[in-house]
């Protein structure tokens, strides 16, 4: 199977498109699952320390997600630009872009470390954490912030590997990361032999090391000509053209993530006003959505890589067809999952919580939202395809409009002013998914993304 993936990923600008989408999308789904497993293992062991420790890690995760949002956007910009240069067979600019991305990512994370590490305790206090949570969380957050250097190297390195369609190596490194975390988590949290029990600090240290080790392996791979793209210390100096292109792609991409994250918090607040059972049911629905949509995001990343390569090669029709092929494959999966969730909603919710009220609300949430999976896939995959072309500004505006000018007001109105009550939030999710998917599709079909041209970043 690995040979199949490697064979179809050798040149993304020629050959049948569907096998290319599968050979990128399937390993990327495994990478996404492994990434989620990393967080689950952390929460499993930290859960043995008590509720305060779980809360500390959860709050720290939210803080890190907000602080590092710009870095996620930058890694998206890295994949986009490197993909396009490789499609154009412009290996010098691909190497230069990869090198500058790493150096710029390191600059940003070091800036975050110096600005935020001294104020970790104040951040917890600002978020309303009690003393027990603060004591458990400050050390964890400080280690995670300093360890952000390893995280940047790991994720930016993975972004470069994915840009060159070397998904198998990316997958192997994620397996290694999980193994390291799985072994070190209990050792560092509870102690063993001469290793002291570090509690939540141990969980942070295990996570940092699980990213740092594969990060150095990626650097070795990229600097020893064992990959298509090579990084050079001589090209670490950041150029004006590079910054201009990177900001054009990454800032709107980062803002989209931020819009979604804050919107999620607002909706949870609306649901929480209806009580514990409603919050539990909504939480189950969100967890199921995250699991089900893993293939969608993976096919979206695959579409972005394929569009980048083919746009760089000036094969515009093939770029468009690549995106729609990814949508078609994902639609088949989402229809199947949607039908299963609609029919067996009660049984699925009972796996997580057998409380009758939670099951009642959770099953209604699933029945209302499951038909929206097709449109979520449409918006995500075509949005990622546009990002692969470097077109992120208009999709950002569409996301802003859909979430903040449509979904949040609709969720508040339906839940507070109609008989739907808390189910109004679920209906707002479904209607917004439809709106967002259609608007992204219209913008994609207009085709202005095909006019973008690659600059020199050497």
**DSSP single-letter state for residue 454:** P
Q: How far apart are CA 221 and CA 239, in angstroms?
A: 24
Contact 160, 221 (CB under 8 A): no
Instruction: Tell whether 160 and 280 lie within a shared domain.
Output: no
- What is the pTM (predicted TM-score) of this model? 0.88
φ and ψ at 44, to 5 degrees? -60, -50
Q: What is the pLDDT along the chain (458 residues), one digit of tens a residue?
A: 555 555 545 678 888 899 999 989 888 888 888 877 777 787 788 878 877 787 788 778 777 877 777 788 888 889 999 999 999 898 888 999 999 999 998 998 899 888 888 888 888 887 777 788 888 888 898 999 998 888 889 989 999 999 988 888 888 898 999 999 999 989 998 988 788 888 889 989 999 999 999 999 998 988 887 778 888 888 888 888 888 888 888 889 888 888 887 888 788 888 888 888 888 888 888 878 888 888 999 999 999 999 999 998 889 999 999 999 999 999 999 999 999 999 999 998 888 888 888 889 999 999 999 999 999 999 999 999 999 998 999 999 999 999 999 999 999 999 999 999 999 999 999 999 999 999 999 999 998 988 776 666 65
Last residue of a domain, one of 211, 238, 265: 238
Instruction: Tell whether 223 and 262 lie within a shared domain.
Output: no
Contact 171, 30 (CB under 8 A): yes
Instruction: Tell whether 232 and 255 lie within a shared domain.
Output: no
Instruction: Tell whether 94 and 129 lie within a shared domain.
Output: yes
pLDDT at 413: 96
The sign of the torsion formed by the CA atoms of 294, 297, 18, 82 equals negative
- The reply to whether 4 falls in a domain is no
- The reply to whether 5 falls in a domain is no
Q: How many CA atoms lie within 13 A of 39 on its CB side?
A: 10
Residue among 332, 313, 422, 327 at smallest CA distance from 87: 313
The residues, ordered by sequence, that sit 6+ positions from 150 with a Cβ below 8 Å of its Cβ are 208, 209, 211, 212, 215
Instruction: Tell whether 292 and 165 lie within a shared domain.
Output: no
The residues, ordered by sequence, that sit 6+ positions from 214 with a Cβ below 8 Å of its Cβ are 154, 173, 174, 176, 177, 180
Last residue of a domain, one of 215, 238, 261: 238
- The reply to whether 375 falls in a domain is yes
3-state secondary structure of 192: strand
Largest CA distance in the chain: 65
Instruction: Tell whether 193 and 301 lie within a shared domain.
Output: no
Last residue of a domain, one of 195, 212, 238: 238
- The reply to whether 130 falls in a domain is yes
pLDDT at 305: 93
Output the six-digit token pair for 266. 């607002």
State the residue range of the domain holding 399.
Answer: 251-451
- The reply to whether 343 falls in a domain is yes
Q: Is 451 exposed, middle or buried (0-12, 13-18, 19+ CB in 10 A)?
A: exposed
pLDDT at 8: 47
Instruction: Tell whether 106 and 168 lie within a shared domain.
Output: yes
Instruction: Tell whether 266 and 136 lie within a shared domain.
Output: no
Domain count, the chain: 2
Q: How far apart are CA 155 and CA 211, in angstroms?
A: 9
Instruction: Tell whether 280 and 215 lie within a shared domain.
Output: no
- The reply to whether 9 falls in a domain is no
Instruction: Tell whether 215 and 257 lie within a shared domain.
Output: no
Give per-residue burial for 375-402: e unless 16+ CB within 10 Å, then b: bbbbbbbbbbbbbbbbbbebbbebbbeb
Q: How far apart are CA 383 and CA 376, in angstroms?
A: 10
pLDDT at 275: 84
- The reply to whether 312 falls in a domain is yes
- The reply to whether 1 falls in a domain is no
Residue 44 neighbours by CB distance under 10 Å: 12
Instruction: Tell whether 89 and 113 lie within a shared domain.
Output: yes
Instruction: Tell whether 155 and 264 lie within a shared domain.
Output: no
């Amino acid at each position: 199977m690995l040979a199949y993936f490697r064979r179809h990923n050798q040149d993304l600008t020629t050959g049948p498109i569907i096998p290319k989408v599968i050979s990128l999308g399937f390993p990327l789904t495994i990478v996404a699952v492994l990434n989620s497993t990393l967080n689950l293992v952390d929460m499993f062991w930290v859960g043995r320390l008590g509720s305060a420790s779980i809360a500390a890690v959860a709050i720290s995760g939210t803080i890190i997600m907000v602080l590092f949002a710009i870095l996620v956007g930058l890694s998206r910009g890295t994949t986009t630009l490197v993909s396009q240069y490789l499609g154009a067979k412009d290996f010098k600019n691909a190497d230069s872009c990869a090198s500058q991305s790493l150096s710029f990512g390191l600059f940003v994370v070091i800036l975050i470390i110096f600005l935020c590490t001294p104020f970790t305790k104040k951040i917890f206090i600002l978020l309303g954490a009690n003393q027990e949570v603060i004591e458990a969380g400050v050390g964890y957050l400080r280690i995670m912030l300093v360890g952000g250097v390893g995280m940047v190297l790991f994720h930016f390195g993975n972004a470069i590997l994915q840009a060159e369609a070397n998904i198998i190596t990316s997958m192997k490194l994620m397996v290694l990361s999980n193994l390291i975390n799985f072994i070190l988590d209990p050792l560092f949290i509870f102690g063993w032999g001469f290793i002291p029990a570090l509690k939540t600090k141990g969980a942070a240290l295990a996570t940092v090391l699980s990213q740092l080790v594969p990060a150095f392996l990626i650097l070795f791979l990229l600097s020893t000509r064992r990959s298509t793209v090579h990084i050079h210390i001589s090209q670490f100096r950041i150029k004006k053209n590079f910054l201009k292109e990177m900001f054009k792609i990454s800032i709107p991409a980062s803002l989209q993530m931020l819009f979604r994250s804050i919107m999620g918090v607002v909706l949870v607040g609306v649901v929480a006003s209806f009580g514990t059972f409603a919050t539990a049911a909504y939480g189950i629905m969100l967890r199921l959505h995250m699991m089900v949509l893993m293939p969608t995001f993976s096919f979206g990343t695959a579409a972005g890589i394929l569009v980048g390569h083919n746009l760089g090669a000036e094969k515009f029709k093939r770029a468009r067809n690549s995106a729609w092929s990814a949508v078609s494959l994902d639609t088949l999966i989402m229809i199947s999952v949607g039908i299963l969730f609609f029919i067996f909603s009660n049984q699925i919710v009972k796996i997580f919580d057998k409380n009758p009220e939670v099951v009642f609300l959770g099953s209604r949430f699933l029945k209302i939202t499951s038909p929206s999976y097709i449109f979520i896939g449409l918006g995500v995959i075509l949005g990622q395809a546009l990002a692969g072309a470097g077109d992120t500004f208009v999709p950002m505006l569409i996301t802003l409009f859909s979430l903040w000018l449509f979904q949040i007001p609709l969720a508040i109105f339906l839940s507070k002013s109609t008989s739907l009550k808390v189910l109004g939030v679920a209906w707002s999710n479904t209607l917004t998914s439809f709106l967002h998917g259609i608007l992204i599709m219209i913008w994609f079909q207009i085709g202005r993304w095909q006019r973008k041209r690659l600059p020199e970043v050497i």
